């Protein structure tokens, strides 16, 4: 508890990857960095980069809330002098795990402050209890490609090999809260659709490991979430088709509205085709071409 400066680094993530709804996640080399200091009285939080749409009170922010919940879980009181300076490089509300990154930031900072040294598996369990699904938290914790499954309130995560893919992410400038994207999904599905997704999810993992573009394009088809979410995102179907026409594999990043495409070749041609499709749909967009991050979240203490 005597640490005067704790810095938490958490990578972005993309999840689902087509058929792997809530079961597959991948860490991306885009990082949030948050500094926690404890010298001056009072509690403050500031943001650089992407700004959350909340009031500036610390208790309204996911980072602070996760820090607080960790302390409560371990029977500790919150510090009276807590100052958080967040540098947010992960776009917010884009399907790149910004809320999971914020939650992990608070949990890891509180763990460092209390000196509890929780394991990565216990950290994932805590994140699951807050987030409700592990598909962004797991890759941000472990790095790389992660498959996971929940059994009642327990989550099991496993890292899988992955080839050196290039990614292109195109983010339409629209508001699509994850809660909205989840609410539109049906409560029940047909058995044939479940079988379809199970088979395709298995092939996604193999295609990602091999660097097989043709197999990945086939495998990223989905019947559980994308058919319901894509109509909410203007132009997304045409953007995905434009990516696939180059030989890439593409789909929604998480719940959207971000669209991610994978290629083993130079991503510039892929990016230009996706941008052209967005222009035809008259969309305002943001684009990123992040590498895959083999590293997960980490903490430095000064």
pLDDT tens per residue across span 179-228: 888 899 999 999 999 999 999 999 999 999 999 999 999 999 999 999 99
Our count of domains for the chain comes to 2
The Cα 240–Cα 172 span in angstroms is: 13
Report the percent of the chain where pLDDT is more than 70.
98
Return the pLDDT at 56: 66
Domain encompassing residue 155: 5-161+292-301
Residue 89: give its domain's CATH number.
Answer: 3.30.230.10
Question: Looking at the structure, do residues 20 and 80 belong to the same domain, yes or no?
Answer: yes
Question: Looking at the structure, do residues 148 and 259 belong to the same domain, yes or no?
Answer: no
Return the pLDDT at 66: 97
DSSP E strand boundaries for the chain: 5-16, 20-37, 42-49, 81-88, 145-151, 154-160, 166-172, 249-252, 259-263, 285-288, 298-301
Is-cis flag, bond preceding 212, omega within 30? no
| DSSP collapsed to 3 states, 76-103 | CCCCCEEEEEEEECCCCCCCCCHHHHHH
pTM for the whole thing?
Answer: 0.94
Confidence of residue 10 (pLDDT cuts 50, 70, 90): very high
Question: Looking at the structure, do residues 112 and 170 belong to the same domain, yes or no?
Answer: no
Return the pLDDT at 289: 98
Mean pLDDT confidence for 112-135:
95
Question: Looking at the structure, do residues 53 and 171 belong to the same domain, yes or no?
Answer: no
Q: Is residue 52's pLDDT more than 60?
A: yes
231 touches 129 (CB < 8 A): no
Question: Looking at the structure, do residues 144 and 31 belong to the same domain, yes or no?
Answer: yes
Question: Looking at the structure, do residues 24 and 156 belong to the same domain, yes or no?
Answer: yes
Confidence of residue 60 (pLDDT cuts 50, 70, 90): confident
Question: Looking at the structure, do residues 239 and 101 belong to the same domain, yes or no?
Answer: no
Question: Looking at the structure, do residues 150 and 99 belong to the same domain, yes or no?
Answer: yes
43 touches 168 (CB < 8 A): no
């Amino acid at each position: 508890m005597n640490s005067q400066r704790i810095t938490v680094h958490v990578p972005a993530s993309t999840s689902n990857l087509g058929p792997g709804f809530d079961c597959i996640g991948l860490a991306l080399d885009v990082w949030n960095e948050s500094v926690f200091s404890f010298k001056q009285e009072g509690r403050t939080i500031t943001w650089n980069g992407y700004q959350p749409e909340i009031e500036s009170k610390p208790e309204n922010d996911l980072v602070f809330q996760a820090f607080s919940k960790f302390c409560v879980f371990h029977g500790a009181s919150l510090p009276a002098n807590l100052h958080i300076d967040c540098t947010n490089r992960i776009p917010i509300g884009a399907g790149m795990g910004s809320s999971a990154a914020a939650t992990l930031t608070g949990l890891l900072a509180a763990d460092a402050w209390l000196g509890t040294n929780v394991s990565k598996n216990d950290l994932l369990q805590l994140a699951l209890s807050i987030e409700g699904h592990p598909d962004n938290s797991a890759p941000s914790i472990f790095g790389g490609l992660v498959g996971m499954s929940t059994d009642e309130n327990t989550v099991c995560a496993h890292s899988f090999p992955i080839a050196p893919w290039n990614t292109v992410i195109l983010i339409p400038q629209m508001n699509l809260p994850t809660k909205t994207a989840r609410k539109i999904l049906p409560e029940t599905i047909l058995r044939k659709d479940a079988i379809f997704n199970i088979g395709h999810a298995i092939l996604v993992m193999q295609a990602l490991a091999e660097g097989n573009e043709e197999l990945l394009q086939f495998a990223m088809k989905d019947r559980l979430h994308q058919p319901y979410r894509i109509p909410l995102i203007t132009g997304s179907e045409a953007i995905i088709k434009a990516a696939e026409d180059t030989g890439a594999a593409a789909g929604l990043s998480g719940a959207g509205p971000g669209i991610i495409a994978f290629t083993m070749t130079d991503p510039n041609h892929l990016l230009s085709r996706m941008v052209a499709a967005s222009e035809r749909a008259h969309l305002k967009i943001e684009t990123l071409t992040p590498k895959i991050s083999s590293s997960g979240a980490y903490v430095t203490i000064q």
